[in-house]
Amino acid sequence: MTFAVIKTGGKQYKVAANDVIKIEKLDAEPGDVVTFDQVLMVGEGDAVTVGAPLIEGALVAGQFIATEKERTVIILKKHRRLHFDRRNGHRQRLSTVRITEILTGGAKVTTKPDEIAKKRAAARAEAAAAQSVTSAPAAAKAAPAAKPVKAKAPKADDAAAAPKAKAAAKPKAEKAPAEPKTEKVTKAKAEKPATEKKPAAKKAAPKADKE
Protein backbone atom coordinates (compact mmCIF):
# COMPACT_ATOMS: atom_id res chain seq x y z
CA MET A 1 0.00 0.00 0.00
CA THR A 2 1.41 3.34 -1.05
CA PHE A 3 1.50 6.09 1.53
CA ALA A 4 3.01 9.55 1.74
CA VAL A 5 3.83 12.18 4.33
CA ILE A 6 2.81 15.67 3.30
CA LYS A 7 3.24 19.06 4.93
CA THR A 8 0.48 21.67 4.92
CA GLY A 9 -0.56 24.40 7.33
CA GLY A 10 2.66 23.91 9.31
CA LYS A 11 1.76 20.28 10.14
CA GLN A 12 2.62 16.88 8.75
CA TYR A 13 0.06 14.22 7.77
CA LYS A 14 0.49 10.58 6.74
CA VAL A 15 -1.99 9.89 3.92
CA ALA A 16 -2.96 7.15 1.50
CA ALA A 17 -5.47 6.82 -1.34
CA ASN A 18 -9.14 7.25 -0.29
CA ASP A 19 -8.17 8.75 3.08
CA VAL A 20 -10.27 11.65 4.40
CA ILE A 21 -8.24 14.14 6.40
CA LYS A 22 -8.96 17.45 8.13
CA ILE A 23 -6.31 20.07 7.61
CA GLU A 24 -5.89 23.80 8.10
CA LYS A 25 -8.30 25.97 6.12
CA LEU A 26 -7.77 26.00 2.34
CA ASP A 27 -9.04 28.58 -0.13
CA ALA A 28 -11.11 26.32 -2.39
CA GLU A 29 -14.68 25.43 -3.31
CA PRO A 30 -16.42 22.07 -2.77
CA GLY A 31 -15.57 19.66 -5.60
CA ASP A 32 -12.29 21.35 -6.59
CA VAL A 33 -9.06 19.40 -7.02
CA VAL A 34 -6.31 20.36 -4.58
CA THR A 35 -2.68 19.29 -4.73
CA PHE A 36 0.10 19.11 -2.15
CA ASP A 37 3.62 19.47 -3.51
CA GLN A 38 5.44 19.40 -0.17
CA VAL A 39 5.94 15.61 0.04
CA LEU A 40 8.44 14.58 2.72
CA MET A 41 8.23 10.80 2.34
CA VAL A 42 6.79 8.20 -0.02
CA GLY A 43 6.57 4.52 0.84
CA GLU A 44 5.25 1.36 -0.73
CA GLY A 45 5.60 -1.69 1.47
CA ASP A 46 9.20 -1.93 2.65
CA ALA A 47 10.50 0.53 0.05
CA VAL A 48 10.61 3.99 1.55
CA THR A 49 11.91 7.16 -0.07
CA VAL A 50 12.77 10.08 2.19
CA GLY A 51 13.20 13.58 0.82
CA ALA A 52 15.91 16.06 1.72
CA PRO A 53 13.71 17.74 2.80
CA LEU A 54 11.26 17.26 -0.12
CA ILE A 55 11.01 14.58 -2.80
CA GLU A 56 11.41 15.97 -6.31
CA GLY A 57 8.57 15.20 -8.70
CA ALA A 58 6.26 13.85 -5.95
CA LEU A 59 2.71 15.11 -5.69
CA VAL A 60 -0.43 14.23 -3.73
CA ALA A 61 -3.86 15.10 -5.16
CA GLY A 62 -7.29 15.14 -3.56
CA GLN A 63 -10.83 16.50 -3.80
CA PHE A 64 -11.93 19.36 -1.59
CA ILE A 65 -15.12 18.55 0.35
CA ALA A 66 -15.90 21.48 2.66
CA THR A 67 -14.63 23.87 5.32
CA GLU A 68 -16.44 23.72 8.65
CA LYS A 69 -16.00 24.86 12.22
CA GLU A 70 -14.92 22.27 14.73
CA ARG A 71 -16.23 21.78 18.24
CA THR A 72 -15.64 24.55 20.75
CA VAL A 73 -12.41 24.31 22.70
CA ILE A 74 -12.50 25.90 26.15
CA ILE A 75 -9.48 27.98 27.15
CA LEU A 76 -9.40 28.48 30.93
CA LYS A 77 -6.83 30.62 32.68
CA LYS A 78 -6.75 30.98 36.44
CA HIS A 79 -4.26 32.24 39.02
CA ARG A 80 -4.85 31.24 42.59
CA ARG A 81 -5.31 33.91 45.24
CA LEU A 82 -5.08 36.66 42.62
CA HIS A 83 -8.77 36.94 41.65
CA PHE A 84 -7.84 36.09 38.05
CA ASP A 85 -10.21 33.76 36.18
CA ARG A 86 -10.70 33.92 32.40
CA ARG A 87 -12.80 31.53 30.32
CA ASN A 88 -12.85 31.77 26.51
CA GLY A 89 -13.95 29.51 23.69
CA HIS A 90 -12.45 28.89 20.25
CA ARG A 91 -13.78 27.13 17.16
CA GLN A 92 -11.12 26.30 14.58
CA ARG A 93 -12.05 26.20 10.89
CA LEU A 94 -10.74 23.04 9.23
CA SER A 95 -10.99 21.87 5.63
CA THR A 96 -11.94 18.28 4.78
CA VAL A 97 -10.08 16.68 1.84
CA ARG A 98 -10.35 13.21 0.32
CA ILE A 99 -6.99 11.94 -0.98
CA THR A 100 -7.30 10.41 -4.45
CA GLU A 101 -3.78 9.62 -5.67
CA ILE A 102 -0.09 9.79 -4.82
CA LEU A 103 2.17 10.60 -7.76
CA THR A 104 5.94 10.31 -8.15
CA GLY A 105 8.45 10.93 -10.91
CA GLY A 106 6.67 14.02 -12.23
CA ALA A 107 3.43 12.20 -13.17
CA LYS A 108 0.44 14.38 -14.01
CA VAL A 109 -2.75 14.59 -11.97
CA THR A 110 -5.67 12.56 -13.35
CA THR A 111 -8.24 13.49 -10.68
CA LYS A 112 -11.18 15.44 -12.07
CA PRO A 113 -13.38 17.96 -10.25
CA ASP A 114 -16.55 16.59 -8.67
CA GLU A 115 -19.37 18.27 -10.60
CA ILE A 116 -22.08 16.82 -8.35
CA ALA A 117 -20.48 18.37 -5.24
CA LYS A 118 -20.20 21.72 -7.04
CA LYS A 119 -23.92 21.68 -7.98
CA ARG A 120 -24.89 20.85 -4.41
CA ALA A 121 -22.76 23.69 -3.05
CA ALA A 122 -24.27 26.14 -5.56
CA ALA A 123 -27.80 25.06 -4.62
CA ARG A 124 -27.04 25.56 -0.91
CA ALA A 125 -25.65 29.03 -1.58
CA GLU A 126 -28.74 30.02 -3.58
CA ALA A 127 -31.07 28.71 -0.87
CA ALA A 128 -29.19 30.64 1.82
CA ALA A 129 -29.32 33.84 -0.25
CA ALA A 130 -33.07 33.44 -0.89
CA GLN A 131 -33.72 32.83 2.79
CA SER A 132 -31.82 35.96 3.79
CA VAL A 133 -33.80 38.04 1.26
CA THR A 134 -37.17 36.72 2.45
CA SER A 135 -36.31 37.11 6.12
CA ALA A 136 -35.41 40.81 5.71
CA PRO A 137 -38.97 42.03 4.75
CA ALA A 138 -40.49 39.84 7.47
CA ALA A 139 -38.27 41.49 10.07
CA ALA A 140 -39.28 44.93 8.74
CA LYS A 141 -42.99 44.05 9.03
CA ALA A 142 -42.55 42.68 12.53
CA ALA A 143 -41.21 46.02 13.74
CA PRO A 144 -43.83 48.72 12.80
CA ALA A 145 -42.67 52.28 12.42
CA ALA A 146 -43.23 54.53 15.42
CA LYS A 147 -46.20 56.89 15.08
CA PRO A 148 -45.45 60.62 15.23
CA VAL A 149 -46.47 62.21 18.52
CA LYS A 150 -48.83 65.16 18.09
CA ALA A 151 -48.48 68.19 20.33
CA LYS A 152 -51.55 68.63 22.57
CA ALA A 153 -53.35 72.00 22.56
CA PRO A 154 -53.17 73.80 25.93
CA LYS A 155 -56.35 73.57 28.00
CA ALA A 156 -58.24 76.58 29.44
CA ASP A 157 -56.90 75.96 32.95
CA ASP A 158 -53.37 75.70 31.61
CA ALA A 159 -53.81 78.94 29.66
CA ALA A 160 -54.97 80.73 32.80
CA ALA A 161 -52.15 79.30 34.86
CA ALA A 162 -49.50 80.28 32.31
CA PRO A 163 -49.34 84.03 33.25
CA LYS A 164 -49.16 83.14 36.93
CA ALA A 165 -46.32 80.77 36.28
CA LYS A 166 -44.49 83.43 34.29
CA ALA A 167 -44.99 85.95 37.07
CA ALA A 168 -43.71 83.46 39.64
CA ALA A 169 -40.72 82.74 37.46
CA LYS A 170 -39.64 86.42 37.46
CA PRO A 171 -36.76 87.13 39.86
CA LYS A 172 -37.63 89.01 43.01
CA ALA A 173 -36.21 92.49 43.61
CA GLU A 174 -33.02 92.47 45.56
CA LYS A 175 -33.28 93.79 49.13
CA ALA A 176 -31.07 96.64 50.31
CA PRO A 177 -28.12 95.42 52.30
CA ALA A 178 -28.60 95.62 56.05
CA GLU A 179 -26.64 98.19 57.97
CA PRO A 180 -23.68 96.87 59.83
CA LYS A 181 -24.20 96.15 63.51
CA THR A 182 -21.32 98.37 64.55
CA GLU A 183 -23.18 101.52 63.52
CA LYS A 184 -26.27 100.56 65.52
CA VAL A 185 -24.19 99.95 68.58
CA THR A 186 -22.47 103.32 68.31
CA LYS A 187 -25.79 105.11 67.85
CA ALA A 188 -27.27 103.41 70.90
CA LYS A 189 -24.26 104.41 72.95
CA ALA A 190 -24.51 108.00 71.76
CA GLU A 191 -28.19 108.29 72.72
CA LYS A 192 -27.61 107.11 76.31
CA PRO A 193 -26.66 109.95 78.76
CA ALA A 194 -23.19 109.84 80.08
CA THR A 195 -23.13 108.73 83.70
CA GLU A 196 -21.06 110.66 86.21
CA LYS A 197 -18.08 108.85 87.48
CA LYS A 198 -17.67 108.55 91.22
CA PRO A 199 -14.48 110.06 92.66
CA ALA A 200 -11.92 107.55 93.53
CA ALA A 201 -11.55 106.82 97.28
CA LYS A 202 -8.61 108.50 98.95
CA LYS A 203 -5.94 106.28 100.17
CA ALA A 204 -5.08 106.51 103.89
CA ALA A 205 -1.77 108.16 104.66
CA PRO A 206 0.82 105.82 105.93
CA LYS A 207 1.35 105.96 109.68
CA ALA A 208 4.58 107.40 110.96
CA ASP A 209 6.96 104.95 112.50
CA LYS A 210 7.07 105.18 116.24
CA GLU A 211 10.46 105.98 117.70
Q: What is the 3-state secondary structure (H, E, C) of the chain?
A: CEEEEEEECCEEEEEECCCEEEEECCCCCCCCEEEECCEEEEEECCEEEECCCCCCCCEEEEEEEEEEECCCEEEEEEECCCCEEEEEEECCEEEEEEEEEEECCCCCCCCCCCHHHHHHHHHHHHHHHHHHHHHHHHHHHHCCCCCCCCCCCCCHHHHHHHHHHHHHHCCCCCCCCCCCHHHHHHHHHHHCCCCCCCCCCCCCCCCCCCC
Q: How high is the pLDDT of residue 97? A: 97
Specify if 172 maps to a domain: no
Under a CB-based contact definition with an 8 Å cutoff, are residues 59 and 35 in contact? yes
Specify if 103 maps to a domain: yes
Specify if 16 maps to a domain: yes
Q: pTM of the predicted model, to two decimals?
A: 0.60
Specify if 23 maps to a domain: yes
Specify if 116 maps to a domain: yes
CB burial class (10 A; 0-12, 13-18, 19+) of residue 140?
Answer: exposed
What mean pLDDT, rounded, does the chain reach? 81
Q: How high is the pLDDT of residue 203? A: 64
Q: Give me the number of domains the chain comprises.
A: 1
Q: What's the rounded mean pLDDT across residues 70-96?
A: 96
Digit-coded pLDDT (tens) for 118-168 = 999 999 999 999 988 887 776 666 666 666 666 665 565 555 655 655 655
Higher-pLDDT residue of 43 and 187 is 43
Higher-pLDDT residue of 210 and 31 is 31
Cα→Cα distances 83→33, 78, 80, 88, 145, Å: 52, 8, 7, 17, 47
Question: Which residues, 6 or more positions from 42, have their beta carbon under 8 angstroms from its beta carbon?
Answer: 2, 3, 4, 5, 48, 49, 55, 58, 102, 104
Q: What's the rounded mean pLDDT across residues 43-52?
A: 91
Higher-pLDDT residue of 147 and 51 is 51
Specify if 29 maps to a domain: yes
* pLDDT of residue 54 exceeding 50: yes
Which range among 116-130, 164-178, 182-196 shows the weakest confidence by mean pLDDT?
A: 182-196
Q: What's the rounded mean pLDDT across residues 16-30?
A: 95
Domain extent at residue 54? 2-136
Digit-coded pLDDT (tens) for 117-130 = 999 999 999 999 99
Specify if 203 maps to a domain: no
* pLDDT of residue 24 exceeding 80: yes
Q: How high is the pLDDT of residue 211? A: 45
Specify if 153 maps to a domain: no
